[in-house]
Amino acid sequence: MPRTPTSPVVAGAVLGGYAIGRSTGDRRLAGVALLAALGWSASRWATTSASLAVGLSAGTVALVGLSHPLSRRVGPWPAVLVSTVAAAALAAVGDGAARRR
């Protein structure tokens, strides 16, 4: 059975989380969406390496955190798009590592 790539899931969670938080005004709901996707993705990455799963998850959370100060400079949607692309690239690293294994 082919493995589902994690990069679209992570990208969707970052974008969807932002949209949920923005539309509801509740940032906690955005966090729930992000954590659910990261939990699923980390379980996929952990089959390759636990340290890979921790590193990619921490990197994704850091990118989402960095989008907040970036949004003051470029606006909220551009900042979210930049962090989404970067988070998807990180997830693609995890997908590639899993494929090589």
Q: How sure is the predictor about 95, in pLDDT bands with cuts at 50, 70 and 90? A: confident
Encoded tokens for 78: 């551009």
Listed in sequence order, the residues at least 6 apart from 100 whose beta carbon sits closer than 8 Å to its beta carbon are: none
Please tell me the predicted confidence (pLDDT) of residue 67.
Answer: 94
Phi-psi region of 26 (alpha: psi -120 to 50; beta: other; left: phi over 0): beta
Q: Is the pLDDT of residue 99 over 80?
A: no
The full set of domain ranges for the chain reads 7-100
Residue 91's pLDDT is 92
Question: 45-67 pLDDT, tens per residue?
Answer: 888 889 989 999 999 999 999 99
pLDDT tens per residue across span 7-48: 999 999 999 999 999 999 999 999 999 999 999 999 988 888
